[in-house]
Structure 1
Amino acid sequence: MRKKSFEYQHYNHSIGLAIVHLVFVPKRRKPVLKSDIRNRLYQIWQELATDKNWNIRACEIAPDHVHLFIEFPPTIPIHLIVRFLKGRSSNFLRKEFP
């Protein structure tokens, strides 16, 4: 579910909008994010975003790096988002593409 415009999220005692631009790079910037791996990575992140109620605003996957704009509730620290994204994708991709 993609939103077209920026909408502030309303909570019990606050209003906020948290969107972050993340850049991920494979080890030694090897061009490994191609074809099936690229598609599976995007699918894993979409599933995770749906589970966690996040919104992926934009995702550009190049062979040697990834740009990701993600919207999330401001109560979640950014380091946890990075941990979930990298952890789940690394685990699944290593099992599926040895």
Structure 2
Amino acid sequence: MSEKKTVYSRRAHSVCRLTYHAVFVVKYRRKVISPGIMDFFKVHTKYLIEERFRGNLTEFNGEADHVHILFELPPSAAPSMVICSLKTQLSKEARKRYPEQIRGKLWKDSFWSDSYLPATTGGADIETLEKYIQTQGTKKPRSLKSDHRK
């Protein structure tokens, strides 16, 4: 089995890989997102992340009452600002393009619940990182493989 190689984004003054997982839930968990709306959300989310925020949409999917978005951002983009902008733009465009599907299920200007789940992704768990940082500046024990005792 081959291991995946981490691909870093190279910018003028940084090399990074900042990936995020966001979940948006429809207000009152109403089942409003049809396959057509889901397709539109995916295309529009890709456009917003890549063109407006200079990031990369990695994955997008969901169900009738919520969506999951996996994306990368440059260090200059604030994740909370990007997420709030995505929620606002997707809500506004869905109401404009699909009024008949939404009317009666949601009211006023609300489409998404006020909350959202933002999560960073990474290759190591917190415990591994804590141990790594704690051992910085200490002498590393000799590995058994390099021990040439007979």
> Is this a same-fold pair by TM over 0.5?
yes
Q: Letter of the 1:60 partner, please give it.
A: N
Aligned to 1:39: 39
**Structure 1 pair 13–24 and aligned structure 2 pair: CA distance change class (3 A):** same
Classify the secondary structure of the residue corresponding to 2:19: strand
TM-score when scaled to structure 1? 0.84
Q: Report the counterpart of residue 57 of structure 2 in structure 1.
A: 56
What letter matches 1:79 in structure 2?
Answer: S
Q: Cα deviation per residue 1:42-79 (whole Å; 9 max; x = unaligned)?
A: 12112212312221111112111111110110221111
User: Aligned letter for 2:74?
Assistant: P
* 1: CA distance, partners of 2:84 / 2:14: 26
Alpha carbons of structure 1 residues 11 and 93: separation in structure 2 relative to 1, 3 Å: same
- Asked whether 1:15 is paired with 2:19, we answer no
Decide whether aligned partners of structure 1 residues 85 and 51 sit closer, same or farther in structure 2, where only a CA change above 3 A counts.
same
Q: Which residues of structure 1 form unaligned runs of 5+?
A: none
- The one-letter code sitting in structure 1 at the alignment partner of 2:36 is D
Output the amino acid matched with 1:58: E
C-alpha separation in 1, matches of 2:83 and 2:10:
24
Identity among equivalent pairs (%): 28
Per the TM alignment, residue 5 of structure 1 is displaced from its structure 2 partner at its CA by 5.5
C-alpha change, 1:76 and 1:50, in structure 2 (3 Å) is closer
AA at the equivalent of 1:29: R
Name the CA distance, whole Å, in 2 between partners of 1:60 and 1:12. Answer: 32
Alpha-carbon offset, residue 87 of structure 1: 1.4
Give the length in aligned residue pairs.
95
Name the aligned partner's letter for residue 35 of structure 2.
Answer: S
TM-score under structure 2 length normalisation:
0.57
Q: Secondary structure at the match of 2:7?
A: coil
Where is the strand percentage greater, Structure 1 or Structure 2?
1
- Alignment-derived partner of residue 30 in structure 2: 30
The answer as to whether partners of 2:42 and 2:61 remain within 8 angstroms in 1 is no
Structure number, greater radius of gyration? 2
